[in-house]
Amino acid sequence: MINYLYQEQNWKTQLSDLITDPKELLQQLQLSTDQLLSGAILASEQFKLRVPRAFVEKMNVADPFDPLLLQVLPHHLELEEHAGFVTDPLGEEQANQLPGVLHKYQSRFLLTLTGACAVHCRYCFRRHFPYQENLPKNEDWINIRQYLLDHPDINEVILSGGDPLTLTNQKLALWVERLESLPQLKILRIHSRVPIVIPSRIDEELVSLLKNSRLHTILVIHSNHESEIDDYTVRQLHRLTEKQVTVLNQAVLLKGVNDSAEQLAALSYRLLDARVTPYYLHVLDKVKGAHHFDLATDSISQIYTELLARLPGYLVPKLVREIAGENNKTPLYGTPIF
Ligand code: SF4
């Protein structure tokens, strides 16, 4: 029986005490470890299981189809080869200008300051990304700064995955200060799944850092299912919105996890409780190892059409696909793609 022991524990303690053994995860959830085929163990060796205990507390005990569990438990199907599913589906190697820097869109610039995530999502499009060879060191700031100065159209920096909120507040503050020193920058965006999997990460220092920056700060969280947002998570997210930090959500449409209009509508209403705006609903990026989360185009179209009918417009996330080399995310609804 799970007893909500970890929810409010210090976030650094939680980050250092992740579940990384699939057997331990199944035992915690009172599930048989017999279902762990050798392929799943091998899949876990290729892309390690990582999940915070506070996130496991949100899962249903004794439910092998729990939608949160399915997102993190290694599966033998990950080892299958499928045409079109590749290691770099978004062509990020082409956009990798300097260590840690991806420049894909005209006004936005993506900076990965860490390769670490608190959770390993099995469908992640960066699951094969060579982070370790590609992290900016302290001294790389000089080159990053020059790159920004050479591209005056860039007015927004996105700190993205690896997950920037696995960094200490001190390290984040150092980079925020550096970015603030460039007058051309107006917006700081942080993409993070940590507020969902370790909600206690939203601490006083972080709230203060985001609230007091001269940059307009936008936190984009990543939640795929209403069960990920319990009452404690709602209260933690309120700490940010009460201080006028904009919080948006992006979700990925995943077979077996949230593949119905009913589920997606429930997520949008739960986000509303947390005062978070549904922003994007991503179609799965075709990354090697994630084929079993993919949905047919007809199903996607049917789900989204029904979602539009169920929700007021302000709660409908934009359905998009990222296509390598395109100048922006490609909106899918109402285009010839369907
Ligand atoms: S938290 Fe984000 S970057 Fe990290 S594994 Fe999950 S989807 Fe990928």
pLDDT one-digit tens code per residue, 9-27: 899 999 999 999 999 999 9
| Distance of CA 183 from the midpoint of ligand 1 (Å) | 31
Residues 233-266: tens digit of each pLDDT: 999 999 999 999 999 999 999 999 999 999 999 9
| Test site for ligand 1: of 121, 220, 250, 284, most ligand atoms within 8 A of the Cβ | 121
pLDDT score at 138: 83
167: CB partners within 8 A, 6+ apart: 113, 114
Residue 137 confidence (pLDDT): 87
Residues of the chain where predicted confidence (pLDDT) is lower than 50: 1, 336-338
**DSSP letters along 63-81, please?**
-TT-HHHHHHS--GGGG--
Q: How far apart are CA 216 and CA 222, in angstroms?
A: 20
Q: What is the pLDDT of residue 333?
A: 79
According to DSSP, the β-strands at 108-111 and 156-159 are: parallel
Q: Provide the residue type at 111 as one letter.
A: L
What pLDDT score does 202 carry? 98
pLDDT at position 247? 98
Q: What's the CATH number of domain 92-331, 3.40.50.300, 3.20.20.370, 3.30.470.20, 3.20.20.70?
A: 3.20.20.70
Domain ranges of the chain: 11-79, 92-331
According to the model, what pLDDT value does residue 338 have?
45
Residue 3 has a pLDDT of 62
pLDDT given for residue 270 in this prediction: 98
- Check pocket membership of 291 for ligand 1, CB cut-off 6 A: no
